[in-house]
Amino acid sequence: MSPKNSFFNSPSKLKSFKSDLAPVGFYFDIFGTEIFKVPVMPVPMRIDKLTNGHSTLFILPDIGKLNEKLKELGLIMNFKNFFLLGISNFINFAKGKYKEIVHRNLEREMIIKWFENSRLIKTEIPSLQEVYTYLLLEFLNTLSTIEEKGLDPSLEGYTAELLRYCDTIISYMREKIENNVIIIKEEGSTKTVQLYLEKKEKYFPLIIAIKIDKKTKMNFIPYLIYDDILDIFSYNRILLNEGNQIPVDMKVWKNNRIINKFSNVNYSNGFLRDIDLEKIDIEKVV
């Protein structure tokens, strides 16, 4: 097919539905790429909401639990830098995929519209917050162990610790899927719903409707989120065992002012203990 025909056959935009909640959380990946040199990653990697200026629900972790863990490990984390880097990676990925599919640049104004709309969503999904918090807690444990043992990516022990980290997350996500429940929160009350129906050893993911305000309901499919996380860590485990790709050096988090030892820095140096979406200036990110 000629480039001319390919251009005229390309879609005008990516398909997206305003009623789709599209929850996204962030985690520390253990492999970098050309695009994600500092791999604070969004999952799921849903870009359609972003490219259309529709809202995404950001799942923020339990900051209280994370700060307790950080104190226990003698570490300090800049949550704002973590979140901003995840958003930046998300936007850069979306720009590339959008141009690849639509053959046009993603407009800056659309990105800003997406983020401003996303700030307006106020709802809680306790089970998803728990999952994304767990990812970060286990990563902090792994990072702390690697630093205590003085390991670097060239050493076999480094890979062993990352394999243990992947195994922990894989077991946790499989248990979550097998339990087949998710807790959502509506109008101050918690509600337990199923992730899927099972027939003849096949899973059929359920669409969950959740109230955003008194007038609006939005939908999401939590099973797909759990399955995405499981796939990511299963694939990372394969990469670690193959040994053809070097995992990121844990120093990258210190160098990018995201995680450091408590004794080396203090909060007055810009290390923030919380995430406030209202104080994020998205124009500086795009």
> pLDDT per residue over 127-149, tens digit each?
999 999 999 999 999 999 999 99
* Tens-digit pLDDT profile for residues 186-199: 877 899 999 999 88
* Residue 257 located in a structural domain: no
Q: Which residues are CB-neighbours of 48 under 8 A, at least 6 positions away? A: 14, 15, 16, 22, 54
* Residue 280 located in a structural domain: no
Q: How far is the CA of 75 from the CAs of 145, 260, 263, in angstroms? A: 12, 6, 8
What are 112's two structure tokens?
Answer: 């800003």
* Residue 216 located in a structural domain: yes
* Residue 120 located in a structural domain: yes
1 pLDDT tier (thresholds 50, 70, 90): very low
* Tens-digit pLDDT profile for residues 234-282: 999 999 999 899 999 999 999 999 999 877 655 545 555 667 777 788 8
Predicted confidence at residue 136, as pLDDT, reads 98
For the whole model, what pTM was predicted? 0.90
* Residue 261 located in a structural domain: no
Contact 76, 260 (CB under 8 A): yes
* Residue 2 located in a structural domain: no
202 pLDDT tier (thresholds 50, 70, 90): confident
* Residue 286 located in a structural domain: no
Is residue 216 scored above 90 in pLDDT?
no
Number of folded domains that form the chain: 1
Is residue 7 scored above 60 in pLDDT?
no
Predicted confidence at residue 54, as pLDDT, reads 93
Is residue 72 scored above 60 in pLDDT?
yes
For the chain, the average pLDDT equals 89
Give the Cα separation of 247 and 29 in Å (integer).
9
Residues above pLDDT 90, as percent of the chain? 71
What are 248's two structure tokens?
Answer: 């990121």
For residue 264, the 8-state DSSP code is G
For residue 218, the 8-state DSSP code is E
What are 78's two structure tokens?
Answer: 């800049």
Is residue 2 scored above 50 in pLDDT?
no
Tell me phi and psi for residue 277, to 5 degrees: -60, -30
Contact 97, 47 (CB under 8 A): yes
* Residue 283 located in a structural domain: no
Count, residues in the chain: 286
What is the CA angle 175-31-38, rounded to 5? 115
Q: State which residues form the domain around 129.
A: 7-244
User: What is the three-class DSSP state of 14?
Assistant: coil
Contact 157, 246 (CB under 8 A): no
* Tens-digit pLDDT profile for residues 34-67: 889 999 999 999 899 999 999 999 999 999 999 9
